[in-house]
Amino acid sequence: MLSRTEPGPIALLIHTFDTIDNMARAARAAVGAALASLAKMKSDRIVLAVSGGSAAALVLPVLAKGSAVPWQRLRVTLVDERLVPATHPASNQRQVDALLPAALKQEDRLWLNIDSANPRDGAVALSSRIPTPDVVLLGMGEDGHIASLFPHDSANDATDRFAATARPDFPRVTMTPATLREAGHIFLVFAGEAKRTVFARAQLTGRPNELPVRHLFLEQTQVFAGP
């Protein structure tokens, strides 16, 4: 593993790895340490917001087995969701729910359930129902998207806490950049040459609307990049 600070809009802490296993192990340790630290510092509940996909698959299973993670203090939600039934293969809820431990009560699993016929109103409702995340775990797409914030989509400029966005596959709801940036700890986990290339390009001068991962170029962000 190599940890270093890269030049860019801010000094990002980037951890690079030769193997997926080493990357995943380090990311799990960092997320677990952040949750354990917050449990000592906060008297109220800790909110963990996660994306679906490879980041959740790599990190959550081992976190679920970790005795140091204060699951009884946690509430878990999603950074985004496709507006499909919870049983649909494309549902983030379906994937993440299966990765969480039985110790996390159902009422502490805060899913992004809204009326798919009116996603804009649903996004407004989520803004008042879903609390601000303390810790965010995200992946990144090969186009630089995070959550359901895609290049040149209007959701990148949304001022509410959640936004609805249309995609070729399914309509979605997503946390907006403002909501993600409220988290005290942000962990970005990705692997593959194409993603490493686009991330390097994102560190050059440019607008977040072009490469939304730039929304996360913050002091509280740690990046875990695998081969």
**Per-residue model confidence (pLDDT) at position 63:** 87
pLDDT tens profile 148-194: 999 999 999 999 999 999 888 889 999 999 999 999 999 999 999 99
Query: Does the residue 29 lie in any domain?
Result: no
- Find the CATH number of the domain harbouring 57: 3.40.50.1360
H/E segment holding residue 78:
strand 74-78
Query: Does the residue 14 lie in any domain?
Result: no
Domain count, the chain: 1
Query: Does the residue 17 lie in any domain?
Result: no
Q: Using CA atoms, how far apart are residues 58 and 107, in angstroms rounded to an integer?
A: 24
Say whether pLDDT at 5 is over 70.
no
E strand intervals along 79-211: 80-82, 109-110, 135-138, 162-165, 172-175, 185-191
Query: Does the residue 3 lie in any domain?
Result: no
Confidence of residue 10 (pLDDT cuts 50, 70, 90): low
Say whether pLDDT at 140 is over 90.
yes
Among the listed residues 198, 197, 193, 89, the one whose alpha carbon sits nearest the alpha carbon of residue 146: 198
**Per-residue model confidence (pLDDT) at position 189:** 98
Structural domain containing residue 113: 37-226
Query: Does the residue 9 lie in any domain?
Result: no
DSSP for 46-75, please give it: EEEEE-SSHHHHHHHHHHHH-TTS-GGGEE
User: Which single residue is written with the structure tokens 């509430």?
Assistant: 75
Query: Does the residue 62 lie in any domain?
Result: yes
Q: 113, exposed or middle or buried, with CB in 10 Å at 0-12, 13-18, 19+?
A: middle
Q: What is the pTM of this model?
A: 0.93
Q: How many residues would you count in the chain?
A: 227
Query: Does the residue 109 lie in any domain?
Result: yes
Across the chain, what does the average pLDDT equal? 91
**Per-residue model confidence (pLDDT) at position 12:** 85
Among the listed residues 204, 213, 126, 202, the one whose alpha carbon sits nearest the alpha carbon of residue 163: 126
Query: Does the residue 26 lie in any domain?
Result: no
* Three-state secondary-structure class, residue 114: coil
